[in-house]
Amino acid sequence: MKQHIWWLVTPAALLVVLPFVASLLTIGGHSLVVGDQFGNFDNWSGFLADVFNWQVVWATLRLGFVVTAITVVVAYPTAAALARLQNRVAIAASYTVIFAPLLISVIVRTYGWFLLLSDTGAVNTTIAQIGLGPYRLIYNEKGAVIALVHVLLPFAVFPLLSTFRQIPEHYREAALDLGARRHEVFFKVMFPLSLPGLLAAAEIVFALAVSSFVTPTLLGGGRIIVLSKLIYDNIGDLQWGVASVQALILLAMVTLIVTGFRQLIQLAKLRGGRAS
Amino acid sequence: MRRAGESIADVWLRNVFLIIVLVFMAAPIVLVVANSFNASSFNAWPPREWTTQWYEKLFSYAPFWHGAMHSLVIAITTTVMTLLVGVPAAFAIARWDFPGRTILRSLIHAPMVVPRVVIGFALFMFFISARLPLYGTWEGIALSHVMLSLPIAVTILSANFINIDPTLEEAARDLGANRVQAFTSAVLPQLRSGLFVAGTFAFITSFDEVETTLFLVSPSLNTLPIEMYHYLEFQQDPMIAAASTVLIVCTLFVVLAALLGGHVSEMRRSLSDGGDTAKAY
């Protein structure tokens, strides 16, 4: 390799890549430590044998499924509507309202949902005026799901929006001219073309939802136990070997999900053909 | 605007849906700001009385101010380090095809896919096991934040480098500049908007970070978001809303400063370049 390239990449390799790889290897090694013993698989067998852990893995995945389904269903028409906007003020306002929350701390956004959803919060006092409720919306899964959809929606809108922008308008017109009905235009032309964007949105939302920590712990009030919370609690209890196993399982889950979705995206691109 | 095969009802439906989504996105943030003036300490809504007492309580609540100072030091360090490390790495990745380039690029981008909780826990274990004096220090926290913000910075910066014509740098070299001089005089000035966008992302990522930081702080060194997280675990009075409002206003200032620093139109370009490149990974 040319020498000057070495000088360019060495700082990044030493400061970021090295500690990253070393820290993952550390938890890999520590998952095999019990007491003073190394090479002991008790942490792994203990995790796999305990039904409670499987329940937590299932709760984590279920939260991921529910949040991803709702987020993608909301994001798809939102991105479609955004891509169709013509008025410059409307475009600027909509983009700001949808993407600016990404710059605001997740704690602030979660606290906002706490204010909206609590027993005396804005939602319950408003629906009380038409004689409904009050509904218990915090300290259970409902509140966490609503807040996570809010936190993750911009991540889903972004890939969908760039996919919609790549679909030429004359594809629609051509389909209509050739006599396709409107639902046929959507299901046979537009939807297959937007599928790679839809899958990319689902991939990132799912990966972020199963690894989320702040929103489920604050709005769950200790009643939602996800894998990330288990890891955090085990540090406090000094169960580092067990926490290492849980961290590796969470990492494996996310890696599998991301790889699976990327395969699907390749398939969708091949089948739908790339617009443009 | 209507297009072929679309009725007025469709356009209305689409816009009404969009407005509902916009209300959904804005509601919690607007409510946080409004609630910071709510006199009820149980956040009873709608407020019967308005007050500024929560701001007074906030200004005399020392843990948040200590946390804010730590957060500021860490965020500035993260921004500087991310750019110092990210600019050369992005330059090498964008300009040359060298052995190990693909591996380096995927390792730099890997922290984006690894759950933040896992990164925090793994770094904690690494610091302790390798007996590095980094656990519970601001240097250790900044290191973790550089790890988190480098993928975005390298994506944005390499997209910018691809748009910069290498012949300019060669011309500078032909005129007698050495490699470093050629880079700083012919390349760096064109990178301005990319530096501002990448720097702003790094700063905000660091200042707001919770899930990795949680594993690396010690009781004597907490950042502001960690202090807020622990406060919220036990009480939810509107002082948190006041703190959040201050944070929202500060974020506005940071973004405005960045917009003024970089040229707005160039920033938009480097953002969309970054977005298109991000998809390629």
Q: Which residue of A has its CA nearest to B248?
A: A104
**pLDDT above 50: residue A217:** yes
A4 vs A10 pLDDT, higher one: A10
**pLDDT above 80: residue A88:** yes
**pLDDT above 60: residue A100:** yes
Residue pLDDT, tens place only, A28-48: 999 998 888 888 888 899 999
**pLDDT above 70: residue A63:** yes
Q: What is the pLDDT of residue B40?
A: 86
Please check whether residue B233 touches A, CB under 8 A: yes
Please check whether residue B27 touches A, CB under 8 A: yes
What average pLDDT does the segment A52-72 reach? 96
Which residues in chain B are contacts of A112 at CB distance < 8 A?
Answer: 27-29, 31-32, 244
Q: Which residue of A has its CA nearest to B28?
A: A112
- 10 Å CB burial of residue A126 (0-12, 13-18, 19+) is middle
Q: What is the pLDDT of residue B262?
A: 64
CA A119 from chain centre, in angstroms, equals: 28
B134 vs A180 pLDDT, higher one: B134
- Strands (DSSP E) contained in chain A are 33-34, 37-38
CB spacing of A15 vs B85 below 8 angstroms = yes
Q: What percent of chain A has pLDDT over 90?
A: 61
Amino acid at B187: V
User: Which whole-number Å values give the CA distances from A15 to A21, B191, B206, B251, in the listed order?
Assistant: 11, 23, 16, 28
Q: What is the pLDDT of residue B274?
A: 56
Alpha helix locations (H) across B36-165? Answer: 53-59, 62-95, 101-109, 116-129, 138-162
- A51 Cα to chain B: minimum distance (Å): 22
CB spacing of A247 vs B121 below 8 angstroms = yes
Q: What percent of chain A has pLDDT over 70?
A: 98
What average pLDDT does the segment A167-174 reach? 82
B231 vs B255 pLDDT, higher one: B231
What average pLDDT does the segment A150-168 reach? 93
- B108 Cα to chain A: minimum distance (Å): 6
Which residues in chain B are contacts of A13 at CB distance < 8 A?
Answer: 104
Q: What is the pLDDT of residue A72?
A: 97
**pLDDT above 80: residue A227:** yes
The mean of the pLDDT values for chain A is 90
Which residues on adjacent β-strands are paired with residue A34? A37
Whether the CB-CB separation of B15 and A81 falls below 8 Å is answered with yes
Whether the CB-CB separation of A212 and B116 falls below 8 Å is answered with no
Which residues in chain A are contacts of B96 at CB distance < 8 A?
Answer: 2, 5
Whether the CB-CB separation of B144 and B216 falls below 8 Å is answered with yes
Taking alpha carbons only, the member of B156, B166, B145 closest to residue B90 is B156
- B270 Cα to chain A: minimum distance (Å): 15
Name the pLDDT band for B279 (thresholds 50, 70, 90). Answer: very low
User: Which whole-number Å values give the CA distances from B105 to B109, B160, B161, in the listed order?
Assistant: 6, 16, 15
Whether the CB-CB separation of A135 and A192 falls below 8 Å is answered with no
Which residues in chain A are contacts of B1 at CB distance < 8 A?
Answer: 84, 86
**pLDDT above 90: residue A252:** yes
What average pLDDT does the segment B194-213 reach? 93
**pLDDT above 60: residue B265:** no
**pLDDT above 80: residue B196:** yes
- A240 Cα to chain B: minimum distance (Å): 8
**pLDDT above 60: residue B1:** no
Name the pLDDT band for B280 (thresholds 50, 70, 90). Answer: very low
Q: What percent of chain B has pLDDT over 70?
A: 91
* CA–CA gap between residue A175 and residue A75 (Å, rounded): 25
CB spacing of A240 vs B125 below 8 angstroms = yes
Residue pLDDT, tens place only, A101-128: 888 999 999 999 999 998 888 888 888 8
Name the pLDDT band for B263 (thresholds 50, 70, 90). Answer: low
Name the pLDDT band for A276 (thresholds 50, 70, 90). Answer: very low
What average pLDDT does the segment B187-209 reach? 91
